[in-house]
Structure 1
Amino acid sequence: EMAASGATIMPQKANQKKEAKLGIEGKSLSTLPRPPEKDSMAAVSIEISSPPSSSRPSSGSTGNTSVDFGEPVGSLQLPPGALGVLETVINMNRTLETQIDALRLKIDVDAKHTENEKKKITTEKDKVIRSKETEIELLKTTVKDREIKIKELQNATEERDSQILSKIEEIDELRTLVMETEDYAEELSKKVHKLKDEKKHLENNGAHREQNDEIRRLKHELVSVKDKLNIMEKELQRARTVIDKQNHRIKVLELEKNDVTSRFKDELEKASRAMRQEVERMREVMRVQYEEMRTLREQNTEISNDVRDIKDLLIRNSKTPREAERGPMSVQNYGGASKGQLTVRSSVPSYRASSSKEALPPLTREQTQNKWVPAGARRINAAYSAKQRKQ
């Protein structure tokens, strides 16, 4: 078992490969065999300079990674083929760090995008609500105007009713006057017959001249009474015509009133129904958008948890017993090392190997106690749960 700076490395036999599934997007890694040297069991001394600093410090390093530690960390005694494995592990570590940075950047971008979408949707819904409130105010104003118009029509109808009642009273008075006139004409006719009888009697008695004068006077009075009676009949006919016109206008006004009332009720019912439907639709849209935002928030949380799990896994796997015995990494602990020796990042995952150098088993990852679930499976489960809640 060869180890350097907290990394346990095991060479791999020829024609033997191992694909490591990392649980995130990326190609699987495998080690390639190197051509055998003259002495496969002989140790090889390799001197490797410090790796270039990455965009972010590793979990095991202290301070800035660009700081020159001075002397090299140590030397590795590696068998043939182990250098390729070491380079593969280092490249895998760099790839994982790059993917973690990309995931963090994606989480930040998604959070900003979600917040902007939320603000945009809230602004649009506020505008729609304000427009609907304006429409409601306009409808209320229209209702008040129509109520005022209905009250005016009712007042006009009451005035016409009072006029009709007054006309009916006038007609009754005219009828009474006509009846009195007819009675008076009948009495005059009786007087005329009586006078005729008296005329005949006077003609027989010789007093004809005085009776003729009285007859002429009575005839003239009868003609005047007939003229007055004709005038009263014309006035009565005119009053009847006026009453018929007033009745017709009253019926027309009542029809208009009923039509206006029915149209107003229909329009008010349509407007109320439309407003209720619009409010229900807006509530449904806001509920769906709230579910979508909650799903996105859960996905972001799961991605953050996945990144945290990956980081914890890398940190936990990078600590080996030899590193624990050596103590924390610092310049004082490595002051006596010679130049040109190997420096390995402490965040490289640890691997287990058998103690013997012959018939070495393939590389295997250490099993963690908590089973890790990929983010894709969590997102699928969350989306399915949200769909079930909507149904």
Structure 2
Amino acid sequence: MTFENLNLIEPLLRALKSEGYTQPTPIQAQAIPVLLQRKDLLGCAQTGTGKTAAFALPILQLLHTDELYVKGPAGIKALILTPTRELAVQIGESFAAYGKHLRLSHTVIFGGVSQRNQTDALKAGVDILIATPGRLLDLMDQRFVKLQNLKMLVLDEADRMLDMGFIHDVKKVIARIPAKRQTIFFSATMPPEIASLANTILTNPVKVEVTPVSSTANTIKQSVYFVEKNNKRKLLNLLLQDKSISTALVFTRTKHGADRVARQLNDAGIRAEAIHGNKSQGARQRALTNFKSRTIRVLVATDIAARGIDVEKLTHVINFELPNVPETYVHRIGRTGRAGANGISISFCDEEEKEFLTDIQKLIGKKIPVVQDHPYPLQRAGMPQPVVTNRQNPSRTPSQRPGNAAPTGDKPKKKKWYGKR
């Protein structure tokens, strides 16, 4: 199948060709025809599947058609809500690339920076608005954003918005937009709260599911090193002596941990920067730009800050610390091995993280190969034992067991945690 088979208009096909797109991904092949029929869509797709183009291309085509033949009132006609600043910028870049031969305008708004440039763009008039929920509500309250003429709403990464505590803000936005609209809903997972939200805002949606969250791409070579916690830094430095690792995205669970790892790498002569929610927007964008341009070799990130990072030819993902939520592992390593390319995922596992590894392997349905031959082995090395159910409270989930840390990011998930963080 080609993009021509999806009945896309010539200006979009020309833009796709110049961007090097040849064949649609499965999510694009399924979603684009549905959306061009102006139907609501419920999509379950993880990062790296091409879902941004799956909704951006139909939005551009439908609004372009309306502009030419059914000239409507001015104002914002499409709203894309997304959880992080990085993902908002990424989506904005996609709309700019795909719509460069059309007359439609767009802008991106997010918090953490001065609103002046954003409000100036809104005053000039935009057709498509990409926004994070908090800044959007703020500008709506200030009457800079008016959505009475909205025709299309996209909720992207809905499960991440739940994790970050944005669902209430999303509901406030939905309450203030026209009920008659086309709604596009994407989420990598479908926890009960997200399923309930989808049911309340979608009308007879077509459901599309591609690459379940429990799967990892076959193009990614995975491995795990059992290592003492205090030797992880030495092992990371040793691995990065291999010049074939041209780019590496390193994950930590905490913001302070990301700063510490980046600092230690620079002390070892390895150019690295950290990206997380405590960094200013300017610092985050500079770090990402430097990583994409290969000015730095390593980007150290927390999970939420890394959501939306899309770097071409990213060769390695390194889990300096394993996530305590197994689905997060799939999202992390999905940064590499994209669009059929090969990638390598390396994970460090200390004694306390063996339980996390067990949960990850249960989710993905396979054992991750262990690298035995390295100079910093775990004293009690070996594959983790099956999880023993807590005798006092067998109903606890893995993320509720003592010692498991909360997910990190701009806003932690609101849970009661046991033991030390």
TM bin, normalised by shorter chain, reads under 0.3
Structure in which a larger fraction of residues adopt strand:
2
With CA pairs under 8 Å and 6+ residues apart, which has the higher RCO, 1 or 2?
1
Which structure would you say has the larger Rg? 1
Instruction: Provide TM-score, normalisation by structure 1.
Output: 0.15
Structure in which a larger fraction of residues adopt helix:
1
